[in-house]
Amino acid sequence: MQINVIPKSRFIHLCLLLLLSVTSYAKLYRGAEYRTFESFLYGRFELRIMSAAGHGVVSSLFTFRDYYAEGLDGAQHWNEIDLEWLGKLNNKVSTNTIIQNEWGDASEVFLSINPHEEFETYAIEWTPEAVRFYQGNRLLRTVSGERADSLYHPQKIMMNIWQPSYTAWAGAFNPDILPVYAIYDWVSYSAYDPGNGSVGTNNDFTPLWVDDFDFWDTSRWQKATHTWDGNNVDFTPANAVFNGGFLVLCMTTPLATGYDGPALSIDDEHPANPADFHLSQAHPNPFNGNTNFSLEIPYSGQVNINIIDIQGRIRNSGTIEVTANLKTNITWDGRDDYGDNLPSGSYIIMIGNQTFQETRKILLIK
């Protein structure tokens, strides 16, 4: 058998040529996208996020009809609803709906905070009659009429960070700011259930699940590996990172993927609008027996309480009356609606009504 030996210098040259041929069509930067396997028709899509700062950077929550997965092609099948935080804007969020054969109706709406410097809760409410966008309990925008009527295809829930080539929209990008991060605390989905719901506008939505991002739930989410024209990043799974109870979507160079910031901790969180409402952390937590928390809001009325397990099932629910600006103390004894003791594990306290919704993580230990 004859073996041909390639000189080292020639071998290195060939490797460089191979590397250039593989990467010649790759994008300049790396981003991330996190998306559900399942598609949803209508509902309340809510999250808590601190978006990424920087001209030319966009972080998002949106719903999208994955018509490619349906074997379809062409803009006539496109449906999408967007919340997009442009890194160049420190007091606005972009809202948008996209319908068949027609580009969107994007509108930048003023916020009461800088979304790149503090966590805030936002929501999209999608019904057959309207799409509503919220910051906390404040309605930012309503889309109705023909545009809402045209949004009737199931859509996936998606979050991403990317770098558009459209500088007039996103701003001119300077790669020296990399890496940048969008940090997601949790995402929840409530089904459109008019007449039977407990959260959202007119209590028209029923909570089904909350993902608090303690880990990658591979039964619900996938990490994307694609890109498109006009997007200067390739999405890579390495840039969707879980750290300290958060999902971090990273935008980086190709040679420095992943999260390289300080360790994150849920103990560092603060309510986004303490002047509007305050739900305390549960104490004790973890607990065995009873755990206690308190609620204070600036108006009187009914508030719904749901205890949700990690499978998204409501295990205990109820309604209480609260008095404006007075602290209401609440105790949960670890039982379900039938009075049976629940097993050890992680649970979510979800408290809210038609104007606000907040969650806290608790751990029951038997």
Question: Per the structure block, which two tokens stand in for 332?
Answer: 């949960």
Residue 352 is predicted with a pLDDT of 79
Residue 120 is predicted with a pLDDT of 93
Q: Which helix (H) or strand (E) holds 8?
A: helix 8-23
CB-based contacts of 342, cutoff 8 Å, min separation 6: 309, 315, 316, 334, 335, 336, 364
Gyration radius (Cα) of the chain, Å: 23
- CA angle, 84 as apex, 79 and 225 as ends, to 5°? 70
As beta bridge partners, residue 252 has: 30
Outline where DSSP puts E strands in 51-100: 58-64, 80-86, 92-98
Check: CB of residue 252 under 8 Å from CB of residue 233: no
Alpha carbons 32 and 20: distance in angstroms, whole number: 23
Check: CB of residue 364 under 8 Å from CB of residue 334: yes
Alpha carbons 246 and 144: distance in angstroms, whole number: 34
Alpha carbons 81 and 295: distance in angstroms, whole number: 32
Residue 11 is predicted with a pLDDT of 39
> Domain 29-258 classified CATH 3.90.930.12?
no
Q: For the chain, how far is it from start to end, CA to CA, in angstroms? A: 69
As beta bridge partners, residue 207 has: 190
Which ranges of the chain have pLDDT less than 70? 1-25, 265-276, 354-356
Name the nearest CA neighbour of 160 among 82, 215, 255: 82
The one catalytic residue among 33, 46, 70, 80? 80
Return the residue matching tokens 């990424």.
52
Residue 80 annotated to the active site: yes
SS3 16: helix
CB-based contacts of 29, cutoff 8 Å, min separation 6: 163, 175, 178, 232, 233, 234, 251, 252, 253, 254
Alpha carbons 119 and 135: distance in angstroms, whole number: 11
Measured on CA atoms in the order 188, 194, 196, 202, is the torsion positive or negative? positive
Check: CB of residue 137 under 8 Å from CB of residue 351: no
The one catalytic residue among 46, 84, 125, 358? 84
Pairing of strands 29-40, 233-235: parallel
Residue 1 is predicted with a pLDDT of 33
CATH 2.60.40.2550 residue ranges of the chain are 273-364
Name the nearest CA neighbour of 30 among 172, 259, 236: 236
Q: Please state, as a whole number, how many other Cβ atoms lie within 10 Å of the Cβ of residue 149.
A: 12
Residue 129 annotated to the active site: no
Domain 273-364 fold: Immunoglobulin-like (2.60.40)
CATH 2.60.120.200 residue ranges of the chain are 29-258
Distance between alpha carbon 216 and the CA centroid of its chain, in Å? 13
Alpha carbons 171 and 147: distance in angstroms, whole number: 28
Model pTM score? 0.70
